[in-house]
Amino acid sequence: MTLRLRPPGPGDEAAARALHEELLADGFSFLLSDGTWEEVLASCERDAAGTDLPPDRVRADFLLAEVDGEVVGRVSVRHELTPSLLEVGGHVGYAVGPRFRRRGHATEILRQSLARLRDLGVELVLVTCDDDNTGSARVIEACGGVLEDVRAVEGHLPKRRYWITP
């Protein structure tokens, strides 16, 4: 089993939308934009290129996590932090579909994301998770995360904030 991170393509719509629906039950959006699949792909391309971004967005790579030809999760690797990302979002936002969990996929997604950020010159990576998400906290700690603090977030669960040297 080899996990590969790659940009989404025209043939990924059904798998990505299915995972989006599954993760909505957890209060998590798998896809970061709405619209037709062509619009979603165009948004991913703009984010990756850092062009025509809204003021609250930064250059980011939206990548699907694929194992043996099946999409099992996704990650958003943000090249820098906005004030909001510094508080709650961090450099890396990942998700694994419920039926694919407990197989090491999240750890591998984060490991590869850290390598990508290191290659981009990021020297210290912020990764956050909900305070009650013990699975994600274990993943972050397994990848070298050092807990800085837990912060209250208005209207949401508190966030655990970890720093990792990639």
pLDDT in tens, 43-63: 999 999 999 888 888 999 999
The SS3 call for residue 98 is helix
Summarize pLDDT for 74-133 with one digit per residue, the tens.
999 999 999 989 988 999 999 999 999 999 999 999 999 999 999 999 999 999 999 999
Alpha-carbon gap, residue 12 to 117, rounded angstroms: 25
pLDDT for the residue numbered 17: 94
pLDDT for the residue numbered 57: 87
- Assign 134 a pLDDT band (cuts: 50, 70, 90): very high
Alpha-carbon gap, residue 135 to 106, rounded angstroms: 9
Residue 92 in contact with residue 125, Cβ under 8 Å?
Answer: yes
Residue 85 in contact with residue 91, Cβ under 8 Å?
Answer: yes
Alpha-carbon gap, residue 111 to 86, rounded angstroms: 20
pLDDT for the residue numbered 30: 85
pLDDT for the residue numbered 88: 87
If phi > 0 it is left, if psi is from -120 to 50 it is alpha, else beta; for residue 102 that is: left
- Rounded to 5 degrees, φ, ψ at 133 are -90, 80
